[in-house]
Structure 1
Amino acid sequence: MNEHTAAVTGIGMVTPLGIGTRPTWQGLLSGRSAAASDPELKGLPVDFSCQVSDLDACGRLTPRLALRLDRFCQMALIAAREAVADAGLSPERWDATRVAVVIGVGTTSFERLQPEVLKLAADRVRSVSPLMIPRSIPNIAAGEIALDLGARGPALAVSTACASGASALGTALLMLRCGQCDIALAGGAESVRNRISSAGFSQLGALSTRTSDPAGASRPFDSKRDGFVLSEGAAVLVLERPAHAEARRARARALLRGYGASCDAHHPTAPPPDGRGAADAILSALHDADLSAADIGHINAHGTSTPLNDAAEAHALRTVFAEPPPVTSVKGALGHTIGAAGAIEAATTALTLQHHMIPPTANHENPDPSLELDIVAATPRPVRTRAALSNSFGFGGQNAALVLTSA
């Protein structure tokens, strides 16, 4: 390992497939979708989502702490605790001033904000919760993780829409390289399983309308794709300077080696059809990792299941790669976790490199011949590669690409 890379020494995940890295990984390998009818969305045009059904925040945290935190923050904290334990770190023994926290969040929290706004609209000012602001500000997840674990280095929120989780990991990598910290707890958290998010994304035409078949709704790169599925989740990765990880004889699951970012400067919500901004980010990440396209043996795609985004990403991949390597998208199983997506997908990419297995793209049943990609579908695919790419793109033309290599 060299000091240009970051060792991924711990992973924590909370997803609709399970609480923890192991159940999420096993669920992804099974190829099943977590989407189902959602009582929270009853009566809306799109009334289904991918839900974390067994969160039990009161039991996993404490009732007092759970009450203070919005759902996205609860999941971030649970994931961070798992990641730190997985890395074999003890907050009581680390140098707290050298531990950073960088968490990506795509939107502000609407979960408890909407009821408070309704109180204000009804002229019930005195009923507005004093916790409304600290529950909903985007940086509160980073702040609460730092508070819980005693991390006194920089604590940042990164918001690049659906690329937020990947941007947070890239930001943490840069911080490690320039010596701002020895350890970074980096990732993303989001919950868009709420009525206002469903209504808003539905009005944009971004959501799948397969209300009669929620489990089959998210189908990345499939010729019958019609939109993404609302979801929620969190992932936190422990990144360490290689010398720091080696000094404590830590196991590395993978290495984060390259980060690239760009902006489409094209449209507020739609990508350019040729995927030029995405291609720019991928090329930048490869350059940063000092690798070529030929070194990449697997791509964990953004793969939202929307007609425009999947086509643009496919175009970008064909621009960068003479023959794109095997591609998967976990959004077929997990739906779209927005700000958490890039972190969940980077964690999955690290696990793919560690276990030499690519999870299948759930619901990919009708290949779209115009995309010209090798989509892993139906069953996991064994792979032996030293390097993989994880893509994330978001509204505002945000693009982020991460290159991970085997440890």
Structure 2
Amino acid sequence: MRPTYLRGAGLASALGPDLPAAVHALRTDAPPRMRRHAGLDWPVHAVWEGEVPASEDAWMAHARETVCAAARESGALDTARSGPLFIASSSRDIGAREQSLAWHGDTHAFSERVAQWLDWRGPVFSVFNACTSAVQAVLSAQRCIGAGECEDALVLGLELPNRYTVCGLAAMQLLSTERAQPCGAGRAGLVVGEAVAALHLGAAPARWRIDGGACVVGGSNPAGLEPQALARALDLALARGGLQARDIGLVKMHAAGSGANDALEASLLAERLGTHVPWVTLKPSLGHTLGAAGAAELALLTACQAADVWPRLHYAPDPALAPQLGKAPAHAAHRLLLLFAGFGGGHAALVATDQEAR
């Protein structure tokens, strides 16, 4: 199998319209853009400024502008339009359907519309599998590139404004009414994040290489983190990259702010990797971007390392849970481990190597 490289990335998020804006926001300690939908108590990390467009056409116009900008930023539109396009999302176009009340229709239709926006000529795939969607899309692209089926691919993680997702998670009592505090002493739930992330993957060498990854479904707790399944995903990701736990220099936790899930993840990491490896969480800055998280967090994490900028915590981490959380690495990590979990029992791990860090 040929190696797969991250050739470029684009990101529109609560930190700004692109990756340079996101890095600048982290460097200057600017707060993420927030929104509360009218009549709802729960905040959202907002990808668009102001209120959500009040018509289907306006929502689609905003979505098109944001998606095309992120894809251009990744560089994929210059070389990759004949390769596969993977659309990863939890909510798809539900925000537009809220405006039109048109709830019927093919779930793949939105992916085809996105492809038309980009004038995409290659095959289009929909990956709609809760919060591990974008990781599964990355691994699918990696297999295509590795097998020589294509030279380039584009993964788009899309989590766009809507009330449906917020109301559903709120009904399950999973949301914080203020802000997310992953692994914090006062953590009280997650905060939804909106994002459009673009990953241009390809066979041509680049700074970042995708070494290994895995998705594992656990059947005993479909709405929460299952340590055995996450451990299995971690072990498989390392094995597929020909790596061992000691090779990891930085961990990006899934940590969303759940009292039980954060504790289970921290305990697993301490057991498998020890407490000397720095941990970081991006959800206080991005929110939990759900189906887009695998793409959004990989894009931001690699940009942070390249710029030597790291998100600071504005709350007290639980010292008994994650004493090394939020501390900037002393030097650039050669290998990054990213963890994700989602509804339906999905657990995922991804390993990326920075070939400029030794």
CA deviation vs aligned residue, 1:223-259 (integer Å, no higher than 9, x gap): 1010111221111111111xxx25xxxxx24111111
In the superposition, relative to structure 1, how do residues 324 and 175 fare at CA in structure 2: closer, same or farther (>3 Å)?
farther
2:87 pairs, out of 103, 114, 117, with: 103
In the superposition, relative to structure 1, how do residues 162 and 374 fare at CA in structure 2: closer, same or farther (>3 Å)?
same
Secondary structure, in 3 states, of the residue corresponding to 1:112?
Answer: helix
Measure how far apart 1:195 and its partner are: 2.9
Aligned to 1:213: none
In the superposition, relative to structure 1, how do residues 45 and 327 fare at CA in structure 2: closer, same or farther (>3 Å)?
same
Aligned to 2:198: 236
1:224 pairs, out of 171, 186, 197, with: 186
Aligned to 1:14: 12
Say if 2:324 is the partner of 1:329. no
| Deviation >6 Å, runs of 4+ | 55-58
Aligned to 1:123: none
**Normalized against structure 2, the TM-score is what?**
0.88
In the superposition, relative to structure 1, how do residues 167 and 29 fare at CA in structure 2: closer, same or farther (>3 Å)?
farther
In the superposition, relative to structure 1, how do residues 333 and 196 fare at CA in structure 2: closer, same or farther (>3 Å)?
same
Aligned to 1:376: 326
Aligned to 1:345: 297
Mapping for residues 203-352 of structure 1, pairs under 5 Å: 203-210=171-178, 217-241=179-203, 245=204, 252-272=206-226, 275-323=227-275, 325-352=277-304
Answer with 1 or 2: which has the greater Rg: 1
For residues 266 and 293 of structure 1, the distance between their equivalents in structure 2, rounded to whole angstroms, comes to: 26
Q: Which amino acid aligns with 2:325?
A: I
Count matched residues. Answer: 353
Aligned to 2:313: 362
For residues 68 and 199 of structure 1, the distance between their equivalents in structure 2, rounded to whole angstroms, comes to: 19
Aligned to 1:186: 155
Q: Do the aligned partners of 2:35 and 2:46 also contact (CA within 8 Å) in 1?
A: no
Q: CA RMSD in A?
A: 2.8
Measure how far apart 1:37 and its partner are: 4.4
2:163 pairs, out of 189, 195, 198, with: 195
Measure how far apart 1:315 and its partner are: 2.4
Unaligned 5+ residue runs, structure 2? none
Unaligned 5+ residue runs, structure 1? 59-64, 118-127, 211-216, 247-251
Q: Do the aligned partners of 2:23 and 2:309 also contact (CA within 8 Å) in 1?
A: no
For residues 373 and 164 of structure 1, the distance between their equivalents in structure 2, rounded to whole angstroms, comes to: 30
For residues 399 and 33 of structure 1, the distance between their equivalents in structure 2, rounded to whole angstroms, comes to: 29
Measure how far apart 1:369 and its partner are: 3.1
Measure how far apart 1:382 and its partner are: 4.2
For residues 368 and 386 of structure 1, the distance between their equivalents in structure 2, rounded to whole angstroms, comes to: 27
Aligned to 1:124: none
**Normalized against structure 1, the TM-score is what?**
0.78
Q: Which amino acid aligns with 1:257?
A: D
CA deviation vs aligned residue, 1:46-76 (integer Å, no higher than 9, x gap): 2x22112349999xxxxxx975837556533
Q: Do the aligned partners of 1:107 and 1:138 also contact (CA within 8 Å) in 2?
A: no
